[in-house]
Amino acid sequence: MNQPSWSPPDASKAGATLETFILEGMFQVPGATGMFTSLLNQISLACKLITGRVRRAGLADVLGWTGETNVQGESVQKLDIIANETMLAVLKRRGHCMGVASEELDNAVLFPQARGGYLVVVDPLDGSSNIDVDVSIGTIFGILRMKPETPLSEESFLVSGRNYAAAGYVIYGSSTVLVLSTGKGVHGFTWDPGAGEFFLSHENIRCPTRGNIYSVNEGNTARWTPGVKRWVDHVKQENKADGRPYSHRYVGSLVADAHRTLLKGGIFAYPADKKSPKGKLRLLYEANPMAFVFEAAGGRATTGKGSVLDIVPTELHQRVPLIIGSKHDVETFEEFAKQDPEGA
């Protein structure tokens, strides 16, 4: 009788929840206070609550706009507010978060009573334009270390991405997956609603050095610089030896386009253009967390002119061009971007 080809899942991973994984990380840090661990667990708790609301959105009258616009001039969705308030409430409760900078808040919220020296930056619900049509959306977060001996203020958030202690995102897609990096490696955890836990499902994610997918909103072509136009023409050209033409994929949710690019390789680009001369995506809570994850996974993150993580922000909601993906593909983009005159 033929042996069955299927073999049971690796039982040793059964217990690998996000919580145990974070705790094990803490035990490896001499003198760890547990504050950082607690903060990571609070963020994952908030995302568990948000995934519950997102999954039932159509049944709970939480779809659609609030009629408000946020500091970015964008119409705010009801779920944006629910996700933002959920994240704030969870982070405030335990007193291990000194403050939060969020896409949905004009100013940072400070918790002077808190301890630990950590700040959180967050895009509570990314991909707002896709919420009502049930296309993948997400939450993006970063944890910053405050500069020692500096007073807690909004300026405390204006540090380069090199000061992030951890970053990641959660994708609310066909399954809910939390991707996390503390700078050394990147790991993915899939949400099991039955057990109410995130379980390790993608250990040590490495972004392939090269891919064959490019992701950009081609609706902006007329607004692009000549260098960006030439880059898109290049990836579309037939060249078997060079694995071109690339396929085009664009969801319109940064988390979804980045997650695919991280796992499969290739490149996601939201370059500066005539409509968004500084780029569209926000440095603190969109570009930096993604750049932190991609660099930790062996990928690359650039504005086209330099590394995203080296930028020292001057404003809380500062925008930047964001190009992330496989090292080879992002370097190719930079070759074309370099052809554009400064300030193009």
69 strand-pairing partners: 75
Q: Smallest distance from the beta carbon of 9 to ligand FBP, in angstroms?
A: 33
Q: Smallest distance from the beta carbon of 84 to ligand FBP, in angstroms?
A: 11
Helix, strand or coil for residue 71? coil
Q: Smallest distance from the beta carbon of 96 to ligand FBP, in angstroms?
A: 25
Which one, 41 or 139, has the nearer CB to ligand FBP?
139
Residue with tokens 């993150």: 301
Cα angle, residue 180 at apex, residues 186 and 299 outer, rounded to 5°: 40
Query: What is the contact surface with ligand FBP in residues (CB under 6 A)?
Result: 74, 103, 123, 126-129, 217, 252-254, 270, 280
Which one, 126 or 295, has the nearer CB to ligand FBP?
126
Q: Determine the distance from the C-alpha atom of residue 42 to the mean position of all C-alpha atoms in its chain, rounded to a whole number.
A: 17
Residue with tokens 């037939």: 238
Which one, 41 or 253, has the nearer CB to ligand FBP?
253
Does residue 321 contact residue 217 with C-beta atoms inside 8 Å? no
Q: Smallest distance from the beta carbon of 201 to ligand FBP, in angstroms?
A: 23
Helix, strand or coil for residue 289? helix
Q: Smallest distance from the beta carbon of 77 to ligand FBP, in angstroms?
A: 9
Sequence-distant (≥ 6) Cβ neighbours of residue 218 within 8 angstroms: 232, 248, 250
Radius of gyration of the chain (CA): 20
Which one, 130 or 156, has the nearer CB to ligand FBP?
130
Q: Smallest distance from the beta carbon of 57 to ligand FBP, in angstroms?
A: 15
Which one, 22 or 323, has the nearer CB to ligand FBP?
323
- Report DSSP state, residue 17: B
Which one, 68 or 203, has the nearer CB to ligand FBP?
68
Kind of pairing, strands 137-145 and 247-248? unpaired
**Could you give the CA distance from residue 323 to residue 300 in angstroms, rounded to a whole number?**
8
